[in-house]
Amino acid sequence: MIGPKESMTITIMTSIVDSAFRGVNILCLRSYSRSIKPRKWYLVQTFTTIPLIFIAHGIYSATAYLLSRLMKGKGSFDATFSSQAFTVYIPALIFMWLPELTFFTYLNSKGTYSYLWPDYVEYLRVFILPFIWIIAISTISLMKVHRYSWWKATISVVISLILSGGISAFFIR
């Protein structure tokens, strides 16, 4: 049974998610109404990526928390937020950020602007392997934080990732 404290927390979290959606919609309308040219988009993206990551993580954590509470999870929002930060951003750091910052920067400095391997290896590196890791570790984390079954945690993780990933994908080309 959800008490008054939990009810207030869920109401606040729902308001945060709703506000984030409204903010993202306003940003979408503004950026596309100004019709940013593709050449200038990457310059704009350098300033919007970091705030977008914070917004996306807030949406991801709030959604995971709300779904977990609706499935009778017992964890707090703070525990959900902090545990999911490690489970999402460490694989992203290893598979995406570090290689692109080091290896690809080195290749570009040598005049090589294409991958040295087939496209399917790049899809594995950027999409498949990180998301398998993220889903597995996030599921385990939510199981421990909210003390419920693995299938409930998997549902919470997948829905939360789809929601925050869809919003992020809209801005990051």
For residue range 41-91, list pLDDT tens digits in order: 667 777 777 888 888 889 999 999 999 999 999 999 999 999 998 888 888
The pTM of this model reads: 0.71
Cα–Cα distance for residue pair 149/54, rounded to 1 Å: 28
Residue-level pLDDT at 159: 94
Residue-level pLDDT at 72: 92
Q: Would you say 20 and 84 are in contact if contact means Cβ atoms under 8 Å apart?
A: no
Q: pLDDT tens-digit profile of 8-47?
A: 555 555 555 555 554 554 455 445 545 666 666 667 777 7
Q: pLDDT tens-digit profile of 129-166?
A: 988 999 999 999 999 999 999 999 999 999 999 988 88
